Amino acid sequence: MTARRYAMAVDTRRCVGCNACVISCKTENALPSGGFRDWIVQEVHGTFPDLTMQIRSERCNHCGDTPCVAACPTGASHVADGGVVLVSKHKCTGCKACMASCPYGARWVHPDGYVDKCTFCLHRVERGQVPACQETCPTRALTFGDLADPASEVSRLVNRRPNLVLQPGAGTRPYVFFLT
């Protein structure tokens, strides 16, 4: 069996920007007031009346090439099972080198003094559940799974549907794919 590689497909044609994923993440992970691990971006392109809009539910891309992990002086930021990028809060000094190196602004400082970010709800995944954001999404825009398994739903979506990753030029090889 090959190693797992967790990924997420975000269907921008289904997402309506309702923020349910944001709120369920906050609840699941007991985030403090003002702290978010995922967020909604609305991007409008064109000149009136020829406008197009894309709505995206964004989070850490659990990149394949991780500047945040490379920048961390203590090893608090690390790549865990399935390529998931995590922060061990008991090692984090809050120096913010990782935040300055992440091109996506996926990290933020928790009021308790450590840096926090999306974990792909690894604690749920280990119990065989899907991430909280996916479970809550009313339009089923989010699909988490193992990209190394060609039969998984996320593999099928990413292989079949046109998609893009954010800032491909940053060289981070993101594993969150936006289906267009």
Which residues contact ligand SF4 (rule: CB under 6 A)? 60-63, 66-68, 71-74, 76-77, 85, 87, 92-98, 102, 104, 106-107, 115, 117, 172
- The count of residues interacting with another protein (CB under 8 A) is 51
Contact between 115 and another protein by CB under 8 A: the answer reads yes
Residue 117 near residue 87, CB atoms below 8 Å: yes
Please give the angle made by the CA atoms of 130, 28 and 41, to the nearest 5 degrees: 80
Q: Is the dihedral of CA 69, 132, 144, 126 positive or negative?
A: positive
Nearer to ligand SF4, 68 or 125 (CB): 68
SS3 state of residue 169: helix
**Rounded Cα–Cα distance for residues 133 and 130 (Å):** 8
Nearer to another protein, 87 or 154 (CB): 87
Residue 111 near residue 67, CB atoms below 8 Å: no
Tokens for 40?
């909604």
CB burial class (10 A; 0-12, 13-18, 19+) of residue 46?
A: exposed
Residue 4 near residue 62, CB atoms below 8 Å: no
Selected binder of another protein within 23, 29, 64, 114 (CB under 8 A): 114
Nearer to ligand SF4, 1 or 3 (CB): 3
- Range in contact with another protein (rule: CB under 8 A) among 5-13, 87-95, 145-153, 154-162: 87-95
**Which option in ligand SF4, another protein, none does residue 168 bind, with CB closer than 5 to 8 A by kind?**
none
Instruction: Name the residues that contact another protein, by CB under 8 A.
Output: 17, 19, 22, 32, 34-36, 39-47, 67, 69-76, 90-97, 99-103, 105, 107-115, 169-171
